[in-house]
Amino acid sequence: MTVTNILLSGIVGSTAYGLAHEGSDVDRLGMFAAPTEDLHGLRRPKESHVSTAPDRTLHEAAKWCRLALGGNPTVMELVWLPDELYEVRTPLGNELIALRETLLSARRVRDAYLGYATQQFRRLRNRSEGPLTADTRKRTAKHARHLKRLCTQGYELYATGRLTIRVDDPESYHKFGEQVAADPEAAMPLLRGFEEAFAETRSVLPEQPDETAADAWLRRVRRQFYPATQATPV
């Protein structure tokens, strides 16, 4: 997959969280700018490019902004990575990192992170209804770790306005995954506990994100990738 005009890209997923083990895939997430001229035609350019081997997802700048403004936990990671995990970091990418707090809102962060965590719990329950194979147990443990991470990171973002990508005490996540793999209902107390914590905590975030900041940044992107053309001699 060849994508030009990459503005920001880095390593995410289990490697970034500190939960990777031998044999884990290395996931990459990034953002690119479509040539502005391409946005004026009959057919709009592709908004996302996803590949495997290596595992990489790249979103066009406008799509990334829409997802981030909606509180999407996956795309949000891109602007909170530790410095050493960035592989591409341009001036426009740095501008966006500087704006990351403006993308946040209390309601959208709460709904997105708790919503994703609840989806993970449903998967755990549904998987427990089938035969308990070694692969099923492995996948259940993985989804349990995701559930705990989503709750923990989402609550931190909601309560403090900051997001720590690398988890504290990775071993506790692996232990939790094994407990839930043995009994999916073991995830219920954690999920309910975080639901109560969100409900009882006054968020530092505004109720709505500052879309004007994201819009102004995106317009700077469009200007940069819409170079002036030479006039045709007559």
Question: Helices then strands (H, E): number in the chain?
Answer: 9, 5
Residue 232: pLDDT over 60: no
Helices (DSSP H) in the chain: which residue ranges?
Answer: 13-17, 61-69, 73-76, 91-98, 106-128, 134-160, 170-182, 188-200, 211-224
**Poorest-pLDDT segment among 61-65, 148-152, 230-234:** 230-234
> What CATH code would you report for 6-103+210-224?
3.30.460
Contact 6, 88 (CB under 8 A): yes
CA atoms within 13 A on the CB side of 182: 6
Q: Are strands 55-60 and 86-89 parallel, antiparallel or unpaired?
A: unpaired
pLDDT of residue 230: 44
Predicted pLDDT of residue 234: 41
- pLDDT, tens only, 89-116: 999 999 999 999 999 999 999 999 999 9
Q: How high is the pLDDT of residue 112?
A: 97
pLDDT over 70 at 139, yes or no: yes
Task: Report domain extents, the chain.
Answer: 6-103+210-224, 106-200
Band the pLDDT of 1: cuts 50, 70, 90.
low
Side-by-side strand order, sheet with 48-51: 48-51, 55-60, 27-32, 6-12, 86-89
* pLDDT, position 233: 43
